[in-house]
Structure 1
Amino acid sequence: MAFFIEAVYLSFLLATTFEAAKAQPDANMIGLGATLYPSTQPTAWYSPSKRFAFGFFPEGSGFRVGIWIVGSANNVTVWTAQRDDPALSSSSTLGFIDGKLQLKYEQGQLQTIVDPPKPASYASMLDSGNFVLYDLYKSIIWESFMFPTDTILGGQALDPGKELISSLSPIDHSSGRFHLKMQYDGNLVAYPANSAEDSVDSYWNTGTMNNPKTKLILTNVTGKLLLADANGTSVIKPVASPLPRVNGSLHRATLGYDGNLRLFSHSFDAEGKSNMSTEWEAIADLCDVKGFCGYNSYCSRIDGEPQCFCMPGYSFTDLNETSGGCERNFTGSKCILGKEDASHINMTSLNVGCDDRPYFLAPMGEKEDCNHSCLEDCDCDAAIYSEPTCSKYKLPLKYLKSTTSTVSSTAFFKLSIDISRNQDGDTQKQPWSTILALSLSFVAYSCIILAVFTIFIFKFHIMKYRKLLFETRTTGLIKGFTLRTYTYNELKKATRGFNQELGKGGFGAVHKGTFDRGRSFVAVKRLEKVVEEGEREFRAEMRVIGRTRHRNLVRLLGYCIEGSKRLLVYEYMSNGSLADLLFKGQWRPNWDDRVRIALDVARGILYLHEECESAIIHCDIKPQNLLLDESWRAKISDFGLAKLLMPEQTRTNTHARGTRGYMAPEWFKNIPISVKVDIYSFGIVLLEIVCCRKNLAYNLSRPEETLLPAWAYNCFEANELDKLIRGEEVDRRTFERMITVALWCIQDEPALRFPMKTVMMMLEGIIDVPIPPCPSDEFSVQY
């Protein structure tokens, strides 16, 4: 009977909430043309009760756009727009323009942050915390409640397939390390971000499988957190119930930056200040949150607070971010006839457990047997003995946690004898046999150097390589990165012996790899040139891409450093390169798709040139380095030739680098280069995107068409641009604008090429494109 009453009551609450949402807009209507500013009034639009605000709020040294609870300490944010984009400057504005919410930057560039399915006529910040857009007939056509970030409010639901994604920290509202998903099977599950969403990755769930179309609802009146059916008429399971509600209070459920789901209540005093109380939290011990500590580290409670510690023989990747994981600070031994060379390897024990899947699981009589089994196993980096079972694991380990004294299990970790002796305080000298072997090896090696000149050359290169490796370590190349470290064997297995090649460049090949039993894919770049060339390529790519974070740049996931082996692991771009799309397909890509791809590439270059801390010159913009993800979004890859500029530097001297056909003329004139070399390359790529052909094509029926840049300008000058697309249906204004912009980009004189921000505004039609002069007729220099 109580269950039936609860269901009826829920239906009544939902109905009254939706009716209130429809009836409210006239009280606080926002019309077209309304504008907000970060640091001058108006900065926000408020709900009628002044409990919620939509607008600019400060974050770090910049601003973001979102919704927050007014009067709360530090402005508790409940929704954030474009949360993974760079913070906004104080010169930005937000306008309700052309039926959309659009950001306008200092240079006039526009970015749409809310784009309803049809143009909106009105907007309103409701007292429920929902920001809505209405059409001309005052029907809701977009609402923030349908696109939650890390919070749901009273009257809001988390529908099947949708998720809450935690913030990165209490003061950084970028996407964080955890997400809470309302699965289609009816189970509400919390996972670490970027996990395979497998049962081994889950750290909290409601156990409500086999209930399709279930959704999570936070009731508006009582503040109860419930799982209900699609119609909201039947309660599947109560999740949390707060204390009796104080009159005028409101509730929110938030997935915190630490991965814990909590229910909060906010009451307000006479002055409108909010008093926040925690009503419920899903997890009592944060060490139970998988991924709370990063790779190769474990969580333990110290004085009741969770803290992260590295495994023995490991150190934090970033000392300022102990949750970012640890990396090994010793070199493993060699495998001899399938067994580990134990002469330089020891095992140490620790009372921790592991929720990762072991690659070996079998009963063993004693824990010493488990220890010895891992010590001899080349693939084993750690083992856990829980009587009578021995489990063996490879690196990296994701889900380690200290165990209580009541849990009978012991973990063993493999590390070098030198490190284990330092930890135990043993300072014994190396045995005489080792010293003698080293001495004989040195004498023999010296004789070979004196006898054979070629060995001397080899030694010279090895010394240079070691010098570069030392520089890598001492300059802290990896310091500051929170990237995953992989072993060579792990990547070799993931790529099936590097047998599925995706492409090949000057420094090595890129191979397709798979993890999590085929559920996730990666691209593994294997640097094959040894000594300084390969090391410089590796360091350049790590240094450059480690400073970047943009949706139009390929994301670096991790790396491998083992001896002379250098590998980089990137997100897998399932639709290949732009070169494949333009030049190898049986038909031309859709015109709208080509326009979107061109804008994607332009945004990526704009970020490198003007939005990074230090400007980055890519130096090799070409279709082969522009990759397409599963959504056909274009991303810039291959930063091995990139050049960083100092903060006050606009030009730099460097040797010629890049690909012929896309290299700016200044590369061949031995003069300092600037970001304008990338703009030239982009101009060539833009012509190729528009015309769907390479910039140099032989065996054509018309010889004048061989060189695309020269032919494009001749067609432009003769007002015969239709020849470039051969009757294809395109948007005429956009087509002409793109050709004209491309001709400006490939001007011989760098000063005539517009900056990337201006190029971007021209492509988007924000500013007019003037008539370009004739580019140099010396295109053939680089062919």
Structure 2
Amino acid sequence: MGALTLHILTLFFLQARSVFANVDLFSTLYTNNSDAWLSSSGEFAFGFRQLNGTSTSLFTLAVWYDKIPDKTIVWSAEKEDNNPAEAPAGSHVELSSQGLTLRSPLGESLWTTGQEYGDVSSGAMLDNGNFVLVNTSSTIVWESFKFPTDTLLPNQSLELDGKLTSRFTESNYTKGRFQLYFQEKEGHDVLMLSPLAWPSEYRYNSYLNIDTPAGSTSSRLVFDQSGNIYVETTNRDEWGSGSCGYNSICSIQNQRPTCNCPDGYSFVDPSNEFGGCQPNSAQLLCGADMEGTTQARPEELYELLISREINFPLGDYERIQPCSQQDCQRSCLHDCMCSAAVFGYPTCWKKRLPLINGRVEKGPTLVFIKTRVSPLTAFTKNEDQAKPILWGSLIGSLVVNSILLATVILLILLKPKRILQVAPASLLETNLHSFTYQVLQHATQNFSEELGRGACGIVYKGQLEAHSSNVVAVKRLDRLGQEQEKEFKAELSAIAKTCHKNLVQLIGFCDEGIHRLLVYEYMSNGTLADFIFGQTKPIWSDRIRLALGIASGLVYLHEECENPIIHCDIKPQNILIGKDSTAKISDFGLAKLLLSDQSRTNTMIRGTKGYVAPEWFKNVPVTVKVDVHSFGVMLLEIICCRRSVIPMESGEEEKAILMDWAYDCYTEGRVDALVENDKEALADIGRLQKWVMIAIWCIQENPEMRPTMGMVKQLLEGFVEVPNPPSPYYSN
């Protein structure tokens, strides 16, 4: 496996000279000779190198060390998929005023530096390993250093939009299994090193993170002339919960962030100003503040502290426009969910806790911070009139309470003891957004545009007016019996604590009266069923990427969640495809959670015909292996681009049941029949053979014979050899 290398030179490395070994316009290099454009010192060369050593007739454009025997390549021309630009024998590269162009023997353009780099006057191979194109003013308009492949050289930087990807092997320059890159995390860029789900671009969890100090963000990775490697940082343009924590106000003083709390708030930890702030008064609870104070108005219970030159620009849950300052204040006072409001004529933005991205910001806006008024302060004006009544009430209540207390104690002593059950955590303790039914009814235009139907309900398309995820999918549960209530709680509890690239994100829910709804991120590209069962067969590489993504999502559910989750209904209709063509597992309406000390559970038959595992029909406890079985069936469908059970014409009955046909094809040595004329799949016959074998292992009748999803993923990726599978039926 190729290594991701940073070539660190010796301490006596020559200082990079700015002497250009000029390459004139219309200069040309061909693959069939050993010519190259050299740097003035002869250290580096630019030209053609054979791919995979001398075993092929394919070449690529490259920069290499020319004074060492190995001629180590430090840069190569790449296509958009990070693989080398391959050129057959007889190709050539030419320098013109439009830049460099690599052409095939027939004159076809195979790679170019791009038309935006016009007016080129010459090129040069510099002594630091950078090949540059310059204009008539000797200004560099293109350079290889800006497009690194798998190597950084001294004096070279990795910019925020760049990445280093390892080669597959030492002699194979196709993209490999590791990548160094910048990724935005909590509002700033972090340098990460991750393994790749080869051959796709999907990154697994990183095992190296280089973060930046509070108040700053990454700008580039620098490899300097002395051999030092470091992340260069700049001051952050935007601050908030990332630097100062929630409910804080961030400002920059002496090029460092300074955190303060707004009026009515204080630091959670006085010794840590970056730890966030908390309200000085108790949390505001809808309805609870009015109990026993029927004559109290919100204006008597709360007050609004006015602050200037600060702002909370993100996280508003409601916007009122047009609105006056008085209307904005009144709306926040009378809304028990409102903790602050920002007013800038003619708009009022209402915020709930926690307040995020607070910052010092000069401008005409006003911020109203809502705090509770002390009960004694609120009613001081009525204190004198209330004294006789209070004393009478106090004496009466003491007598009544004494009688009640004695009664309760007597009942407790006489009542048989039993073990108390601790109630589960409230759903409101999650980070999900709680929507009213009216809001979702409005967002879906009274549930008019249907996206799909399932066993648990109907999914509608909706659009939220004041939310970070504007277009959403709203699942309306259509049965309200006791079993349906369990389904709702299961789905909500299962997804609320999950977070993975290959799981559909649950944004919020509605639990109001008889209404039970779930709000998901909207998947713009339909389902996996639409993708693989459509008119046109999708390309093999896309099917590979989707299958690996689904496997990653199931590994997360089974092995990486706090409590393992059995999905119970894995099928193509429950795999959605996002705008970036990422496969995401959806529909947790049938999900079943396993407690930390469980490995199996008893439940009623769940799932969809054609995908359910045999143990569902045997009245035995089920495990995560039921999902493995369903995945195996779906993997065969992805491979073959056909449904698991279809009616066949006379003479083709053997193909009707996909699982049977696939096993027959495997045992008879004709797996190519499963993909018919799919040239790309047939060109990858080794993987095709192995994946069919993996699917057969997954659909074994005996669940103990099936691999875990973690093992399935390793088998799919080629990290573990696939043993020959037995017949999936009648195994003991």
Give 1:113-512 correspondences, 5 Å limit.
117=84, 156=157, 158=159, 175-179=184-188, 256=212, 258=214, 260-261=216-217, 281=235, 289=240, 297=247, 299=249, 305-306=258-259, 330-331=285-286, 348-352=303-307, 353-355=311-313, 359-362=319-322, 364=324, 368=326, 370-372=328-330, 383-384=341-342, 389=345, 391-394=347-350, 401=358, 409=366, 411=368, 471=423, 475-479=425-429, 481-484=430-433, 486=435, 488-512=437-461
Q: Distance in 2 between matches of 1:744 and 1:669?
A: 20
The residue type paired with residue 634 of structure 1 is A
8 Å contact from structure 1 (residues 342, 376) kept in 2:
no
1:128-174 per-residue CA deviation (whole Å, 9 max, x = no partner) reads xx999xxxxxxxx99898699xxxx9763747x779xxxxxxxxx98
| Distance of 2:588 and 2:341 partners within structure 1 | 39
Task: Give CA deviations for 1:318-349 in whole Å, capped at 9, x if unaligned.
Answer: xx99769999853479xxxxxxx997897631
Residue 688 (1) aligns with residue 637 (2):
yes
Q: Does residue 1:772 correspond to 2:722, yes or no?
A: no
One-letter amino acid matched to 1:392: C
CA deviation vs aligned residue, 1:49-74 (integer Å, no higher than 9, x gap): xxxxxxxxxxxxxxxxxxxxxxxxxx
Q: Provide the residue aligned with 1:673 in structure 2.
A: 622
Counterpart of 1:178, as a letter, is: G
Look up the equivalent residue of 1:755 and give its one-letter code. Answer: T
Q: How has the CA–CA distance of structure 1 residues 425 and 147 changed in structure 2, closer, same or farther, with 3 Å as cutoff? A: farther
Q: Is the 8 A contact 1:614 1:646 kept in 2?
A: yes
**Does the 8 A contact of 1:527 with 1:567 survive in 2?**
yes
The one-character-per-residue Cα deviations of 1:395-449 (angstroms, maximum 9, x if unpaired) are: 5586674889998846275x9xxx76769666999x99xxxxxxxxxxxxxxxxx
Which of the numbers 681, 697, 704 marks the counterpart of 1:751?
704
User: 1:737 corresponds to which letter in structure 2?
Assistant: K
Alignment-derived partner of residue 97 in structure 2? none
What is the Cα deviation at residue 370 of structure 1? 4.6
AA at the equivalent of 2:306: N
Residues 244 and 274 in structure 2, CA contact (< 8 A), matched pair in contact too = no
Report how far residue 766 of structure 1 moved: 3.9
Q: What's the secondary structure of 2:494's corresponding residue?
A: helix
Contact 1:116 1:142 in 2 (8 A): no
Equivalent-residue separation in structure 2 for 1:683 and 1:695 (angstroms): 11
Give the drift of 1:20: 13
Give percent identity, aligned residues only: 36
Q: C-alpha distance in 2, partners of 1:20/1:423?
A: 86
In 1, the alpha carbon distance for the partners of 2:522 and 2:40 equals 46
Deviations 1:716-755 (A, max 9, x none): 3444544433433323332232222212211111122122
In structure 2, distance between residues paired with 1:652 and 1:142:
58
Q: Any idea what SS the aligned residue of 2:604 has?
A: coil
Tell me the CA shift for residue 310 of structure 1.
11
Scaled by the length of structure 2, what TM-score is found? 0.55
Distance 1:368 1:631 in 2: 45
Decide whether the 8 Å contact of 1:179 with 1:259 is kept in 2. no
Q: Which amino acid aligns with 1:330?
A: L
Q: Distance in 2 between matches of 1:491 and 1:257?
A: 41
CA distance in 2, matches of 1:565, 1:530: 8
Question: In the TM superposition, what is the alpha-carbon distance from 1:551 to its structure 2 partner?
Answer: 2.2
Q: Aligned to 1:351, what secondary structure does the other structure show?
A: strand
Residue in 2 that maps onto 1:738: 691
2:675 maps to what in 1? 725
Distance of 2:629 and 2:517 partners within structure 1: 31
Counterpart amino acid of residue 393 in structure 1 = W
1:384 Cα shift?
4.7
Q: 1:260 to 1:533 in 2, by over 3 A?
A: farther
Q: Is the 8 A contact 2:183 2:189 kept in 1?
A: no
Instruction: Tell me what 2:576 maps to.
Output: 627
Specify every segment of 5 or more residues in structure 2 that has no aligned partner in the other structure, as ranges. 1-15, 22-38, 46-51, 53-72, 76-80, 87-127, 131-142, 164-181, 191-209, 289-294, 390-420
Residue 710 (structure 1) aligned with residue 665 (structure 2): no
Q: Which amino acid aligns with 1:549?
A: C
- The whole-number CA distance in structure 1 between the counterparts of 2:436 and 2:263 is 18
**Mind listing any 5+ residue stretches in structure 1 that lack a counterpart?**
1-10, 26-31, 33-97, 101-113, 120-129, 133-140, 164-172, 182-253, 334-340, 433-467, 779-783
**Residues 1:681 and 1:263: Cα distance change in structure 2 (over 3 Å):** closer
Which residue of the partner structure matches residue 550 of structure 1? 500
Once the two structures are superposed, the pairs formed by residues 82-101 of structure 1 within 5 Å of their partners are none
1:156 aligned partner, one-letter code? S
Q: 2:609 aligns with which of 660, 667, 670?
A: 660
Q: In the alignment, is the contact (CA less than 8 A) between 2:306 and 2:366 conserved in 1?
A: yes
Deviation of 1:658 after TM superposition, in Å, equals 1.9
1:578 is aligned, of 508, 512, 528, to 528
Cα distance between partner residues in 1 of 2:156 and 2:722: 49
**2:219 and 2:661 mapped to 1: Cα distance?**
65
- Check the 8 A contact 2:473/2:522 in 1, yes or no: yes
| Alignment CA distance shift 1:146-1:718 (3 Å) | closer
Q: Is the partner of 2:576 in helix, strand or coil?
A: strand
Matched residue count: 527
Aligned equivalent of 1:541: 491
Q: 1:753 to 1:378 in 2, by over 3 A?
A: closer
Alignment partner of 2:584: what SS? strand
Q: Distance in 1 between matches of 2:278 and 2:19?
A: 44
Q: State the 1:594 CA deviation.
A: 1.6
* 1:608-619 equivalent positions in 2, closer than 5 A: 608-619=557-568
Aligned to 1:68: none
Highest Rg: 1 or 2?
A: 2
In 2, Cα distance between the equivalents of 1:290 and 1:384? 18
Structure 1 CA distance for aligned equivalents of residues 20 and 518 of structure 2 = 53
After superposition, the Cα gap between the structure-2 partners of 1:629 and 1:405, relative to the gap in structure 1 and judged at 3 Å, is: closer
Please say if residues 630 and 699 of structure 2, whose CA atoms lie closer than 8 Å, have aligned partners that are also in contact.
yes
User: 1:411 is matched by which residue type in structure 2?
Assistant: F
The aligned residue for residue 175 of structure 2 is: none
In structure 2, C-alpha distance between the alignment counterparts of 1:264 and 1:768, rounded to whole Å: 40
C-alpha distance in 2, partners of 1:773/1:745? 11
Q: Helix, strand or coil for the counterpart of 2:605?
A: coil
Q: Secondary structure at the match of 1:711?
A: helix
Cα distance 1:363–1:592, how it changes in 2: closer, same or farther (>3 A)?
Answer: closer
Determine the C-alpha separation between the residues in 1 that align with 2:129 and 2:296.
64
Inter-partner Cα distance in structure 2 for 1:311 and 1:507: 46
> Which of 760, 763, 768 is equivalent to 2:713?
760
**1:631-650 pair list within 5 angstroms:** 631-650=580-599
> In structure 2, how many angstroms separate the alpha carbons of the residues matched to 1:406 and 1:602?
51
Change (3 A) 1:408 1:530: same
- The whole-number CA distance in structure 2 between the counterparts of 1:131 and 1:12 is 11
CA shift, 1:699, in A, is 6.0
Going from structure 1 to structure 2, the CA distance change for 1:292 and 1:667 (only over 3 Å counts) comes to same
With over 3 angstroms needed to count, the CA separation of the structure-2 counterparts of 1:773 and 1:399, relative to structure 1, is closer
Aligned partners of 2:43 and 2:618: how far apart in 1?
69
Equivalent positions of 1:104-119 (< 5 A) are 117=84
TM-score calculated relative to the size of structure 1: 0.52
CA distance, structure 1, for counterparts of residue 213 and residue 433 of structure 2: 20
- Kindly state the Cα deviation for residue 577 of structure 1 after the two structures are TM-superposed: 0.8
How far does the alpha carbon of each residue in 1:103-130 deviate from its partner, in whole angstroms, 9 at most, with x for none?
A: xxxxxxxxxxx976479xxxxxxxxxx9
Change (3 A) 1:262 1:756: closer
